Amino acid sequence: MIAPIKITEKAEHEIKNIMTTKNIPTEYQLRVGVKGGGCGGMSYALGFDKPKPDDQQFEIAGIPVLIEKKHYMFLMGMQIDFFEGDEARGFTFINPEIPKRHDA
């Protein structure tokens, strides 16, 4: 099965750095998922977890990734990136199918 997401080089570096510096146990993998949809739409989640029976497992950019089967279709085409700015840093999910908004 084809992995539904892509991980940018910046995100790959940060995930691997977290796995090393936070001593994430080797039996844990990166879990990518979605949370409910209220008024703001879907929100996305990242964390480390052990595989569960309903998970699909992938290796993306050398990172073992878990995705629950029910989340697969909501993550299709998503790209995980990492940004570092003066006031904030963190992971972001980008859907390349949705054009970026440019304010006038």
Q: What digits encode the pLDDT tens for the residues 58-74?
A: 999 999 999 999 999 99
Q: Which residue from 3, 10, 1 is spatially nearest to 32, judged by alpha carbons?
A: 3
Contact criterion met (CB below 8 Å) for 29 and 65:
yes
Other Cβ atoms closer than 10 A to 57: 12
Supply the pTM of this predicted model: 0.85
Calculate the dihedral angle through the C-alpha atoms of 99, 62, 20, 57, rounding to the nearest 10 degrees. Answer: 80
Give pLDDT tens digits for 68-91.
999 999 999 999 999 998 888 999
pLDDT at 104: 45
